[in-house]
Amino acid sequence: MNDSEIMSIKRRFGIIGNSPSLNHAIEVAAQVAPTDMTVLITGESGSGKESFSKIIHQLSTRKHGKLIAINCGAIPEGTIDSELFGHEKGSFTGAHEARKGYFEVTNGGTIFLDEIGEMPLGTQARLLRVLENGEFIKVGSSKVQKTDVRVVAASNVDLQSAVTDGKFREDLYYRLSTVPISVPPLRDRGDDILLLFRKFASDFSEKYRVKPIKLTEDARAVLLEYRFPGNIRQLKNLVEQMSVLEMDRLITADTLRKYLPKDYRSIPMLYQKTSDQAPDVSERDILYKVLFDMKQDVTELKKLVFQLLSSDQDEQLLQKHRGLFKNLEEETENNTYILSNGEQPESTIQYDEPNGANNNDDLIEDIAHETEPDDSLSIEKKEKELIIKALQKNNNKRKYAAQDLGISERTLYRKIKQYQIDE
C-alpha cells in the first residue's frame, strides 16, 4: 500500500498523524479488511482503537451491514450473556419477553468487542463457539442458532498475562489474535502530538466561537515531553479546557504546565508486588502492617517515658498523667497479626480477643503497683471490692457488671479468677 492510499484512509476516517507506527497499523487494517479474519487490536486506553474497527468494517464486504461497538467492561457480568446472545421469555427474573442479542441482530455485519479482557470466563466460552462454528444459544433456550458476524476485538491490557493468570482463555486468545494490530500510544508518535493539538484547537474555536489557541516554542517542547497517560482523549480534553478558560490565545510553557497533571507513573505506589512474593499479599495488608508497627513504636515510647517518670522527683507528674500508661503491659503482649495470605509480618501487634472485644478497654488495669509495692495491696483490695459490688448489683451477671466497671467481660473473668471471688 502506497502513501497516497494511506493518506486517503486517514482523510476518510479523520485520523491525524504521520508516525511510521501509526501508518503501519493503518496499512495492516486496510489489508485485512476485505477478509473475514478475526482481528485483535491492542493499545492503551484513549489511543484510538475504535477508529481501526471502523476502517476494517467500512473497507470490507460487510460495509452495508451493521457495526456495533460493545464495551465488555461496562456490561454487568450477570447480563452480558443476555446482551450478546439474547434470552428467552422467563429465562431469569425480569425476563418478561424474549430478546434478541447483538450476535443475532448484527448478522452479516461486524461486532467490535472493546475491553475484551474484562469478559467473564463463561461468556468467553460462548464467544469461542461463535468464532469457531458461527453458533450460539440464547439464555434459557436449548435451540442452536446460526450467525454470520465478524468479530473485531480490542484490549488495553496484556491478554497473554491474563491467560497466564487464568483470567482469559488461551484458546480464545489465539482465535482472536489471528491478525494483531498494535495502535501506538500518543507519546510514541512524535510530532503527531502537535498536529493533533492544532486540529483540536481549530475544532474548539469553531465550537465555542473563539480564536484558536496557539503554542509558543517552549510550550511545544513541554507538550512533546509529556507522556500523556490518557493518550488522544487526554490531549483533546486539555485543548478544550485551555480553549475555554484562557483569555490569552498564545499558550506559554508556564500556562500549559498548569493544565498538565503529574504523570500517574511518577506517583509512588504504596506497595508493589515482586515476582517471588506470594500473590495474595495486598496493599491493605501492608498498610495494616505499617499501622501496627507505628502502634508498637508508640508503645515503646510510652515505656521509655514511664521509666523516666518513675523516679521519685517525677512521681507527682506520673500520677497526674497516669491515664497515658494504662494497659502498657497488655499492649506489648506477643499477639500475632495474620496477613490475608496466612503469613506473619515481623514486629506486629494483634488482637485475639474473643467476640471482637478490645484489650484497650481494660481500664481497671494499672501498672503503678510495680513502683509502689506498698500501695499495690490497697489498690488490689479496692479493685476486688468494686468487682464484688458490681457483681452483687447485677445479680452476678458478668456482662452487665463489666459494663458498670467499664471493662471487657474477658477482663472481668480474669479478675474474678485472680482475686478468687465467689459468685
Please list the pLDDT of the chain residue by residue as tens digits (423 residues): 888 999 999 999 999 999 999 999 999 999 999 999 999 999 999 999 999 999 999 999 999 999 999 999 999 988 999 999 999 998 888 888 999 999 999 999 999 999 999 999 999 999 999 999 999 999 999 999 999 999 999 999 999 999 999 999 999 999 999 999 999 999 999 999 999 999 999 999 999 999 999 999 999 999 999 999 999 999 999 999 999 999 999 999 999 999 998 654 443 444 344 444 444 444 555 665 666 667 767 776 777 676 665 655 555 555 655 665 555 555 444 444 444 444 444 443 343 444 444 444 444 444 334 444 444 446 778 888 888 888 888 888 888 888 888 788 888 888 888 888 876
Domain membership of residue 271 (yes or no) is no
C-alpha span between 152 and 243 (Å, rounded) = 36
Helices (H), 33-120: 49-58, 80-85, 102-105
Looking at the fold, whether 337 and 372 belong to one and the same domain comes out as no
The residue segments making up the domain with residue 73 are: 3-184
162 within a domain of the structure (yes/no): yes
Tell me which of 300, 316, 348 is where a domain ends: 348
Q: Which residues contact 223 (CB under 8 A, 6 or more apart)?
A: 193, 194, 197, 215, 256
Amino acid at 68: I
168 found inside a domain = yes
Indicate the pairing of strand 150-155 with strand 39-42: parallel
pLDDT of residue 345: 45
Lookup: cell for 151: 468479530
Same domain, 7 and 62: yes
Q: Residue 122 domain-assigned?
A: yes
Interatomic CA distance for residues 5 and 11, integer angstroms: 10
- Dihedral (Cα; 220, 221, 227, 229), 10-degree rounding: -20
Give the per-residue pLDDT at 270. Answer: 42
Number of H helices, E strands in the chain: 18, 11
Percentages (nearest 5) of helix, strand, coil residues in the chain:
55, 10, 40
Residues 36 and 156 in one domain: yes
Cα-Cα-Cα-Cα dihedral sign, residues 87, 89, 95, 100: positive
- What pLDDT is stored for residue 311 in this prediction? 56
pLDDT of residue 378: 62
CATH at 167: 3.40.50.300
Q: How far is CA 195 from CA 14, 17, 233, 235, 261, in A?
A: 12, 7, 14, 11, 21
pLDDT of residue 276: 44
Q: What is the pLDDT of residue 325?
A: 56
Q: Is residue 273 part of a domain?
A: no
Q: How far apart are CA 355 and CA 78, in angstroms?
A: 36
- For residues 179 and 196, membership in a common domain is answered with no
Q: Report the distance separating Cα 122 and Cα 79, nearest Å.
A: 12
Position 336 in a domain: yes
The verdict on 219 and 111 lying in the same domain is: no
Q: Are residues 161 and 230 in the same domain?
A: no
- Which CATH number belongs to the domain containing residue 385 in this structure? 1.10.10
Domain check: are 33 and 64 in the same one?
yes
Give the pLDDT confidence score for residue 395 in this predicted structure.
Answer: 85
Structural domain ending residue among the three candidates 288, 319, 348 = 348
Domain count, the chain: 4
Contacts of 67 (CB under 8 A, 6+ apart): 53, 54, 57, 109, 110, 111, 112
Please indicate, yes or no, whether residues 363 and 378 belong to a single structural domain of this protein: yes
In a domain, 388, yes or no: yes
Task: Identify whether residues 322 and 201 lie together within a single domain.
Answer: no
| Cβ contact 133:175 at 8 Å | no
Last residue of a domain, one of 330, 348, 366: 348
- Residue type present at position 204: F
How many alpha carbons fall within 13 Å on the CB side of residue 331? Answer: 23
User: What CATH number does residue 215 fall under?
Assistant: 1.10.8.60
What grid cell was written down for 224? 512533546
143 and 117, same structural domain? Answer: yes
AA letter at 142: S
Quote the DSSP letter at residue 47: S
What pLDDT, on a 0 to 100 scale, did the predictor assign at position 323? 60
Q: Identify whether the C-beta of residue 153 lies closer than 8 Å to the C-beta of residue 123.
A: no
Whether 416 is covered by a domain: the verdict is: yes
Q: Same domain, yes or no, for 170 and 23?
A: yes
Same domain assignment for residues 9 and 120:
yes
pLDDT at 407: 84
DSSP for residue 189: S
The DSSP-derived string for 373-386 is HHHHHHHHHHHHHH
